[in-house]
Structure formats: structure tokens, C-alpha cells
């Protein structure tokens, strides 16, 4: 048994005991002695400038079905800074607060229908708009929504040329208010072959600040995670296709549309050897890319050189920077939510 597998098994056992003892999905966080998952694999010495040598991947919550879409919400008034994340199969969003643990924040989160809607009905990617409101990529309701201050939701967009989206997956805001997002078929009960599909492609879109929707590209088979470079001149898109597990970089033109994309990394050879596929990502202030993929989180420099990998041993869905100073990287890794201290910070727009 490998060291990585042994650590994964030990962490799983520990959280299984904790959940059983609490008689539910979660326990409140009443300790700083957190379980450790995986390890940091260093391929280039420059990774030491981004992730300290003594940094550990801590499990801060567990017992979920499939975690996704983490977003850090900064402290506001008496409300402490906290992490929101999706549990897609449970159609729920959970809230994690340091010293308190995780609790249910929102249900239903992505599907408000009355009939069964497959195994992944809830929301996926979460992001905050310029007003600090929660914007959700909703699988079951097949839309991008925004939560109002009164607690209700408004639909930002739910169709392209009158045809409903497949299942919006992940999103990122430009500083001018434009929203870039992806639309693969994973939220449909039968995915790509679902008879409910109205579009015959999986698109990458831009919703402008004045509400105009533009299809940017339909040449990616499974567009998934999405991110922007610090100068907002490059859009990064992950493709979670087992036959072409890649990350692409697209130049953004002055009108907000995209130029021809280039592949910055191909992980197809790792698909059958390590758990997971290219999925969500976070970009730091210097343009380094932290991208989930087979075996954990891949760390690329701005030029696309692979510096290392945060090996989780789990299918790792997404990540985001957060914490009081923005230097903590939070990971959604299957049934776990984890964090690791970095020496950098995420982009603050």
C-alpha cells in the first residue's frame, strides 16, 4: 500500500468515526488538531516560493457526497469571514466558519423541481459579484442565479438563443462586470445523452454587465473550470474529457471575445492512473494557476510550466483562495473540504 493511499485511508476512517459519533453528516470544529491528507509533490524548486516546505493539507470538514464550488466570503460587520461550498448530490450549500465547523447554509441550491433529477441536481460553481452577492451555477434549474439581500434569487441567464443551457458549471467575473462561464452536461440526469438537452454543444459564454450573452467558443468537448489572469487578458478553461484532459488559455480581445486558444497542459496520460479530471481552478496575484486535475491540484507558473502537484489521493473538484489575508487555498476533494497555507494570495478584484 502506497504512503498516499495509507494517508487517505486513515483520514477517511477518522472522519467516518467523527460523523458516526455526531449522528449526522458533520461535526462542529472543536479542535485545531486536524487530519492531514496527501502531500505536496515538488517538480520545480520555484514551487517553494508558493507553498512552504512545511505546509500540510488539512481536512477541515468531511462526510459530504461530492463537494464543489468553494468561495471565500470576507468578513463583513459582525459576520466573520467564511467559506461557502456546494454539495451537489445533496442539492445544498454549506457554510464553514473557523472554530465552528460546517453547517447547512442553503437548500435547495440548484434544483427546485418536484420530480427526481438525477444524481447531481444542486449548484456547482459559486462566485461573488461586485456587490458581494452569491452567484450560483445551478445544475437542475439550468441557470446562473444571484441571491438578493432579502434572501430570494433572481435568474441572470438560463438560455442561449431560446434554448436552455445544459448545466452551468463554473464562472469568473471580469472587473468590468462581465461574467464568463462554462456549460457542460454533467448536471443533466443522463448527461450528454439526456433527452432534455436543447443545445448540441458545450459552450463557454460571456454575460456582459448589461445582460448581453455571447457564445465565445463551442469547440471544447467538456469545458469545466474557468479563470482569468491578473491582467484580465487571458481566459483559462479546463476540459474534463477523459480522452482529452487539457487546460487551454485564450487571449481576450478588446471586445471581450476570445482569440485562438492554446493548450497549456495535457494530463490525458494521467487519467487512468490518478483520480479525477481537469476541473476548477484559482489564479494568484502573480498569475500562477492552481488547477484541479488527475491526482489533486496542479500548480503552473504563468507560462504554463508545471511546478508541482498537491496530491490529495481524491477526485479533486475545485479550489479557491481565502482566509483573512487571502493566502489560504481551500480545496473541494470528493467527500472532504481541505485547506493548505500558501505564500501567495489570490486575485482580489
Domain residue spans of the chain: 3-341
- Which residues in the chain land under pLDDT 50? 1-8, 13, 16-24
Instruction: Supply the pLDDT for residue 29.
Output: 54
Half-sphere exposure of 263 (CA within 13 A, CB side): 11
Residues β-bridged to residue 101:
28, 97
Q: Which pTM was predicted?
A: 0.92
Instruction: Supply the pLDDT for residue 23.
Output: 41
Q: What kind of fold does domain 3-341 have according to CATH? A: Neuraminidase (2.120.10)
Residue in 272, 280, 226 with CA at minimum distance from that of residue 248: 226
3-state secondary structure the chain: CCHHHHHHHHHHHHHHHHHHHHCCCCCECCCCCCCECCEEEECCHHHHHCCCCCCCCEEEECCCCCEEEEEEECCECCECCEEEEEECCCCEEEEEECCCEEEEEECCCCCCCCCCCCCCCCEEEEEECCCCCEEEEECCCCEEEEECCCCCEEEEECEECCEECCCCCCEEECCCCCEEEEECCCCCCCHHHCCCCCCCCCEEEEECCCCCEEEEECCCCCEEEEEECCCCCEEEEEEEECCEEEEEEEEECCCCCECCCEEEEECHHHCCCCCCCCCCEEEECCCCEEEEECCEEEEECCCCCEEEEEECCCCEEEEEEECCCCCEEEEEECCEEEEEECCCCECCC
Instruction: Supply the pLDDT for residue 22.
Output: 44
Residue with the three cell numbers 454549506: 94
206 to 30, 157, 289: CA distances (angstroms): 43, 11, 21
Phi and psi at 213, nearest 5°, equal -100, 135
Residues 6+ apart with CB under 8 A from 121: 88, 89, 91, 108, 110, 111, 139, 140, 187
Residues 6+ apart with CB under 8 A from 162: none
Residue in 112, 111, 110, 150 with CA at minimum distance from that of residue 133: 150
Instruction: Supply the pLDDT for residue 348.
Output: 75
Bond before 108 cis per omega within 30 degrees: yes
Amino acid at each position: 500500500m502506497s504512503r498516499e493511499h495509507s494517508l487517505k485511508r486513515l483520514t477517511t476512517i477518522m472522519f467516518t468515526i467523527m460523523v458516526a459519533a455526531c449522528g449526522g453528516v458533520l461535526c462542529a470544529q472543536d479542535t485545531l488538531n486536524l487530519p492531514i491528507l496527501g502531500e505536496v509533490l515538488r517538480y520545480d524548486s520555484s514551487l517553494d516560493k508558493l507553498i512552504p516546505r512545511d505546509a500540510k493539507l488539512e481536512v477541515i470538514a468531511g462526510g459530504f457526497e461530492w463537494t464543489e464550488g468553494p468561495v471565500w466570503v470576507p468578513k463583513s460587520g459582525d459576520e466573520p469571514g467564511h467559506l461557502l461550498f456546494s454539495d451537489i448530490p445533496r442539492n445544498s450549500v454549506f457554510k464553514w466558519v473557523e472554530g465552528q465547523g460546517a453547517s447547512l447554509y442553503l437548500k435547495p441550491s440548484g434544483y427546485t423541481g418536484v420530480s427526481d433529477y438525477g444524481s447531481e441536481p444542486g449548484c456547482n460553481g459559486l462566485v461573488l459579484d461586485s456587490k458581494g452577492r452569491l452567484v450560483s451555477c445551478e445544475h437542475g434549474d439550468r441557470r446562473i442565479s444571484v441571491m438578493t439581500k432579502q434572501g430570494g434569487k433572481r435568474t441572470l441567464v438560463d438560455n442561449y438563443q431560446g434554448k436552455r443551457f445544459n448545466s452551468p458549471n463554473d464562472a469568473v467575473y471580469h472587473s468590468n462586470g462581465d461574467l464568463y462561464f462554462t456549460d457542460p452536461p454533467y448536471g443533466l440526469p443522463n448527461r450528454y445523452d439526456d433527452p432534455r438537452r436543447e443545445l448540441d454543444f458545450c459552450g463557454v459564454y460571456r454575460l456582459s454587465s448589461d445582460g448581453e450573452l455571447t457564445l465565445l467558443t463551442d469547440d471544447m468537448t467538456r469545458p469545466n473550470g474557468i479563470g482569468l489572469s491578473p491582467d484580465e487578458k487571458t481566459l483559462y478553461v479546463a476540459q474534463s474529457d477523459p480522452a482529452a484532459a487539457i487546460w487551454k488559455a485564450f487571449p481576450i480581445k478588446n471586445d471581450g471575445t476570445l482569440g485562438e486558444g492554446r493548450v497549456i497542459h495535457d494530463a490525458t496520460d494521467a487519467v487512468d492512473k490518478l483520480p479525477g479530471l481537469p476541473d476548477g481552478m484559482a489564479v494568484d496575484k502573480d498569475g500562477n494557476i492552481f488547477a484541479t486535475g488527475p491526482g489533486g491540484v496542479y500548480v503552473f507558473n504563468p507560462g504554463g510550466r508545471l511546478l508541482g502537484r498537491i496530491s490529495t489521493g481524491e477526485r479533486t473538484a475545485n479550489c479557491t483562495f481565502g482566509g483573512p489575508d487571502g493566502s489560504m487555498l481551500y480545496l473541494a476533494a470528493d467527500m472532504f473540504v481541505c485547506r493548505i497555507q500558501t505564500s501567495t494570495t489570490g486575485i482580489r478584484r
